[in-house]
Each structure stands twice: as structure tokens, then as C-alpha cells.
């Protein structure tokens, strides 16, 4: 029996007081954090440990949660061909949609031209401010990435918390258990019980989500200030508007073609979306997303494969940001890129964005890697957006999160592993508390 996260999505409004709803608590916490960061910036900065501590709590259990979800999902399948089919369809979806996100960012930058007219002298830029990011981007080679996917040891994958390394171990382990047949039943029962314990632990940690969101948002506003947004309002506004349109139009169309509403999905995931917004980290809501997608009717094996790989390879928000930010820097510096140069920028971004898998702070680091291959735009230009990158990272994280939720439901539908009745009930808010919705597996 699959585990459930009790308490992260209470019964429909009206059955419980509004203040007990997690999304309300997180929304209030974000608002309070923003006010403290604005009026008392030093206090806001001092609250940073609250956000860091919460994210560390969640990251502490991400590796075992992913391992248990993937292994029990695959081990419960009788046809190993389905595993390959899910992986192939998932990566096809990732490549097409994430690459389209790059094109959207490039197109919007050409139409809106948020950096035009700034006429900044490249000689006045502080190259030292982005030197650290440039150094990290040198490690993003294809060979280096592939070698990093393989953990130095089984334990090392869990110690480092590297999602790709955990997947690299979990997938063949699940396949090996499937090949064992009935002899693997005792181990599978233990893993299922362990998974249930971990998801209950997630429910306990989620009670601290408002505190984490409060501290993280207070720090962001206190450290970087609202004034930094005003000075680069054209870029920040364009990025947020583009991301919103991408979610509603592009992902909305994909959702509609696959039989569900993007708006209802956003409502269903409102607690997680606010948590991601408040903490500026999509990982903070990953365990809850795994459970909610299962509850919405997606087969456990599909959820276990698509969500973790999507967190590394399906970064729609990051991709929009990369081409839009690169073009903004060029426009602000008065550099007129030809069509050929823009296509080169797009091609490099397509490759470097895939190499960003598993890299912390991937958005800014990947942008650095892209600009180093396209010398027309000086790397020092990244100093222009360094001050507002934190505010844009929140939008990147939310867009990435939504993109992976849509991708999982779509792949599940392609595989015939999506229960339409459960999906409709969940999106309409009629599925009740999470704890009341256990998901049966073939092994029970």
C-alpha cells in the first residue's frame, strides 16, 4: 500500500476553519515576512536561518522518499517494458516543451526588448561579482555531468542528496526486484512500510512550512530590497508575465489536450505553489507533489520516474529565464545580436540547460555557461541582474514546479496509467483528506 501525506491538504473549505488550511498559513507567513523585510531589513536578514532550516529538513528526506517511491513503483510493475516506455515518453516531452520555453523567452525578449535604451558601458560592470558563478559553470561539461550521475557509493548518493544519483541507483534496483518475482515480496513489504513512515514524516515537517516561508521571504526582501526590483522592473515584469502566459497558454493547452484544466490543477496544488514561492525552492514541495499526483490518479511508477527526472531535465521557468536574461543583458549593453547570433545563443542554451541537471542554483550558473560560449555578450553583464536574480528565482521555481506536475499527468495519460475519475475528483476538490486516500499497489 502506498504511503500518504496526512494533513498537507485538509478537507474542503467549510469543514475546517480557514486558518487551519496550510495554504492560508503560508500566504499569511509570506505577507508577514515581506512586511518585516521591508520595514525592518536587518531583522529580515536575520530571519534567514528559519528558511534555511526548513529547506534542510525537507532535503534531508528527499533522497529516501525518491528512492522508496521509485523502487516500490517499479517493483510493483509486472512488465519491465513499461519502465522504458515511461522514461522514453518523459524525456521526449521534456526535450520538446523545455526547448519551446527557450524559444518563448527569446521571442518575448525581441518583442518587448526590456533592456533597450539602458546604454550601459561594459567597462563599468563589476566582473568580480559573477566570477564565482563563472567558475562553477566550467564544471558543466557533458562528460563531467555523466560521470557525476554515477555515485561513488550507494550511501554516497543519499549523503549528497543528488537526485540523479539516487535515481541511477533506484531504477536498476527496482528492476532487479521485479526480475526476482515473488521472492522480492518480503523486501517490497518492508519498503512500502518504510515509505509510509517517511511520508508521515513529511506531514510532520510540513507543519513548519509557514515558519520556513516566513523566514525565507523576510530574508529576500530584507537583503535585496524592493528598490532593486524597481530599478530593473522591465526585466522582472517581463519575466513574470512571460512565465504566467507560458503556464496558462502553453501548459494550459497541453493540459486541455490531455483532458484536465490547468487552473484546477493550480488550485489543487495551491499549498505547494505558495510554499515554493515563499522558499524560492521547488524541492521544498517535492515530497508532497509525489503524493498528490498519486492521489490524483497517476500510477505510482509513473510519478516516481517522471517527477524526479523532471526536476533535473524539465526546467521550463529556468529556460525562459536563460534566453530572456541573455537578451536583456545584450540590449542593456547596446549589443545588437544578429539572427545567426541569436540562433547560436538558442542552440547553446538548449545544450547547457540540459547539463544543468542537479546543479544548485542552476538558473544563474547555466546562464553563465551559455554566455561563455557566446562571447558576443560579455559575462560581466550578468552583474546587471545579480541583484534581482533572487526575485526571479522564485518565479523560476514555481514555473518549473507546475511544468513537472503537468508533465507527470500527461505521461501517465499517454501510458494509460491515469485514473480519470480520481483526477476529476481531486481537481474538483472532492477527494477528501489525504490520509483517507491510500493507493493500492499490485503487491497488496
Report all structural domains of the chain as residue ranges with CATH numbers, in order of start: 18-436 (1.10.3860.10)
Please, what is the end-to-end C-alpha distance for the chain in angstroms? 6
0.85 surpassed by pTM = no
pLDDT over 70 for what percent of the chain?
Answer: 80
Q: Which helix (H) or strand (E) holds 409?
A: helix 389-414
291-335 pLDDT per residue, tens: 899 999 998 888 988 988 888 788 898 889 988 988 988 888 888
Instruction: Fill in the DSSP letter of residue 160.
Output: H
C-alpha–C-alpha distance, residues 8 and 22, integer Å:
7
More confident residue, 174 or 444: 174
Mean model confidence pLDDT for the chain? 80
pLDDT in the model for residue 413 = 94
Q: What is the mean pLDDT of residues 344-348?
A: 83
pLDDT in the model for residue 129 = 53
Judge whether residue 365 has pLDDT over 90. no
Cα separation values, 26 from 19, 53, 218, 275, 292, Å? 10, 16, 13, 7, 18
Q: Which long-range contacts (CB under 8 A, 24 or more apart) does 338-342 make?
A: 341/374, 341/376, 342/106, 342/110
pLDDT in the model for residue 284 = 80
Amino acid at each position: 500500500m502506498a504511503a500518504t501525506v496526512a494533513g498537507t491538504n485538509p478537507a474542503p473549505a467549510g469543514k475546517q476553519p480557514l486558518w487551519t488550511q496550510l495554504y492560508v498559513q503560508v500566504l499569511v507567513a509570506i505577507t508577514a515576512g515581506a512586511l518585516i523585510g521591508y520595514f525592518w531589513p536587518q531583522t529580515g536578514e536575520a530571519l534567514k536561518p528559519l528558511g534555511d532550516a526548513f529547506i534542510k529538513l525537507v532535503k534531508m528526506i528527499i533522497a529516501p522518499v525518491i528512492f522508496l517511491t521509485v523502487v516500490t513503483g517499479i517493483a510493483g510493475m509486472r512488465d519491465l517494458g513499461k519502465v522504458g516506455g515511461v522514461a522514453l515518453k518523459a524525456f521526449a516531452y521534456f526535450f520538446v516543451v523545455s526547448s519551446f520555453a527557450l524559444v518563448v523567452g527569446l521571442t518575448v525578449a525581441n518583442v518587448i526588448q526590456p533592456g533597450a535604451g539602458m546604454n550601459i558601458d561594459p567597462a563599468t560592470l563589476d566582473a568580480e561579482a559573477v566570477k564565482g558563478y563563472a567558475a562553477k559553470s566550467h564544471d558543466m561539461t557533458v562528460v563531467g555531468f555523466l560521470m557525476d550521475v554515477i555515485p561513488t557509493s550507494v550511501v554516497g548518493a543519499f549523503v549528497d542528496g543528488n537526485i540523479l544519483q539516487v535515481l541511477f541507483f533506484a531504477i536498476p534496483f527496482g528492476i532487479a526486484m521485479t526480475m526476482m518475482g515473488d521472492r522480492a515480496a518480503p523486501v517490497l513489504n518492508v519498503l512500502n512500510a518504510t515509505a509510509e513512515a517517511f511520508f508521515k514524516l513529511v506531514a510532520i515537517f510540513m507543519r513548519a512550512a509557514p515558519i520556513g516561508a516566513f523566514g525565507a521571504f523576510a530574508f529576500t526582501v530584507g537583503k535585496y530590497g524592493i528598490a532593486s526590483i524597481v530599478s530593473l522592473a522591465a526585466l522582472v515584469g517581463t519575466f513574470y508575465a512571460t512565465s504566467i502566459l507560458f503556464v496558462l497558454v502553453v501548459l494550459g493547452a497541453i493540459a486541455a489536450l490531455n483532458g484536465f484544466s490547468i487552473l484546477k490543477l493550480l488550485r489543487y496544488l495551491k499549498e505547494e505553489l505558495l510554499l515554493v514561492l515563499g522558499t524560492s525552492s521547488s524541492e521544498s514541495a517535492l515530497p508532497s507533489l509525489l503524493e498528490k499526483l498519486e492521489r490524483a490518479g497517476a500510477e505510482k511508477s509513473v510519478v516516481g520516474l517522471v517527477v524526479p527526472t523532471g526536476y533535473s531535465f524539465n526546467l521550463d521557468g529556468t529556460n525562459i529565464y536563460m534566453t530572456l536574461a541573455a537578451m536583456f543583458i545584450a540590449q542593456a549593453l547596446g549589443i545588437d545580436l544578429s539572427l545567426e547570433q541569436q540562433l547560436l545563443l538558442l542552440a547553446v542554451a538548449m545544450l547547457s540547460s540540459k547539463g544543468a541537471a542537479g546543479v544548485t542554483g542552476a538558473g544563474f550558473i547555466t546562464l553563465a555557461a551559455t554566455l561563455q560560449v557566446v562571447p558576443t555578450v560579455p559575462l560581466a553583464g550578468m552583474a546587471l541582474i545579480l541583484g534581482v536574480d533572487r526575485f526571479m528565482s522564485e518565479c523560476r521555481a514555481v514555473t518549473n514546479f507546475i511544468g513537472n506536475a503537468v508533465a507527470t499527468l500527461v505521461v501517465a495519460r499517454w501510458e494509460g496509467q491515469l485514473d480519470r475519475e480520481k483526477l476529476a475528483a481531486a481537481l474538483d476538490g472532492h477527494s477528501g483528506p489525504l490520509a483517507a486516500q491510500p493507493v493500492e499497489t499490485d503487491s497488496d
